[in-house]
């Protein structure tokens, strides 16, 4: 995991050198979380406040590379007890703006990891590969200050298995493979951020 983050930081360092704009955005909002109720498991993550930040680097017209961090501290309900947990999303994404001016709509796609940390009754930590889909709008008050309204779907993925097959038949030979993933809990985030634009 550390190697992946180090690689992403090096990639961002290269992008920063040629950046047209850089935006720093602390964010605050609310997370609507889901529950797991399959294969004999039950785990319900309660909705709660979220906070975090974004580093957005413009590398082309209306295109940004983003590093993002989101966290919420909440409670998780199992079949037997209630525990305090923290959920963290570490994401690398690409944002596409649609237009210029005071109000700028956007869409975002990201990949990264999600971490669940047990804060009471134990010390369990679970890391899952995750992806995100987002949309929103930037509302600029000045050229360097604005607000970011956003909504994201964060999708942690559990790896269920993989397979690779080869065969020979009357129609010839061939090989195929597949990977199966399961989305255990969906997190729907909504919030606002304060954009601080650092222009060249």
pLDDT band of 35, cuts 50, 70, 90: confident
For residue range 115-129, list pLDDT tens digits in order: 888 887 777 788 888
Indicate the SS3 state at residue 81. coil
Q: The domain containing residue 163 runs over which residues?
A: 2-199
Residues paired with residue 64 on neighbouring β-strands, in sequence order: 58, 95
Higher pLDDT, 40 or 157: 157
Domain total of the chain: 1
Say yes or no to pLDDT of 161 above 50.
Answer: no
Bridge partner residues of 55 (DSSP): 24, 67
Q: Who wins on pLDDT, 98 or 168?
A: 98
152 neighbors 136 (Cβ within 8 angstroms): no
Read off the CATH number of the domain in which 23 is found: 2.40.160.20
Reduced to 3 states, what is the DSSP secondary structure of residue 3?
helix
90 in helix, strand or coil? strand
pTM of the predicted model as reported, rounded to 2 decimal places? 0.79
Residue 6 carries which DSSP code? H
The predicted-structure confidence for 55-105, as pLDDT tens digits, reads as follows: 999 988 899 999 999 999 988 887 778 888 899 999 999 999 998 889 999
Q: How far is CA 13 from CA 2, 46, 160, in A?
A: 16, 37, 35
């Amino acid at each position: 995991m550390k190697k992946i983050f180090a690689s992403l930081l090096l990639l961002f360092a290269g992008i920063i050198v040629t950046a047209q704009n850089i935006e720093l955005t602390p964010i605050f909002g609310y997370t609507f979380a889901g529950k797991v109720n399959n294969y004999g498991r039950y785990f319900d993550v309660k909705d709660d406040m979220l906070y975090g930040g974004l580093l957005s680097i413009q590398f082309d017209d209306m295109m940004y590379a983003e590093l993002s961090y989101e966290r919420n501290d909440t409670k998780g309900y199992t079949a037997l007890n209630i525990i305090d947990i923290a959920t963290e999303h570490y994401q690398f994404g690409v944002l596409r703006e649609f237009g210029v001016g005071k109000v700028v709509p956007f869409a975002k796609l990201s990949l990264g990891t999600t971490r669940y940390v047990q804060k009471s009754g134990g010390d369990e930590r679970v890391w899952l590969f995750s992806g995100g889909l987002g949309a929103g709008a930037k509302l600029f008050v000045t050229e360097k200050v604005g607000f970011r309204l956003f909504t994201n779907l964060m999708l942690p993925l559990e790896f269920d298995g993989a397979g690779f097959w080869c065969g020979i038949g009357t129609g010839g030979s061939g090989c195929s493979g597949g990977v199966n993933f399961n989305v255990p809990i969906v997190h729907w985030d909504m919030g606002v951020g304060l954009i601080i634009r650092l222009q060249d």
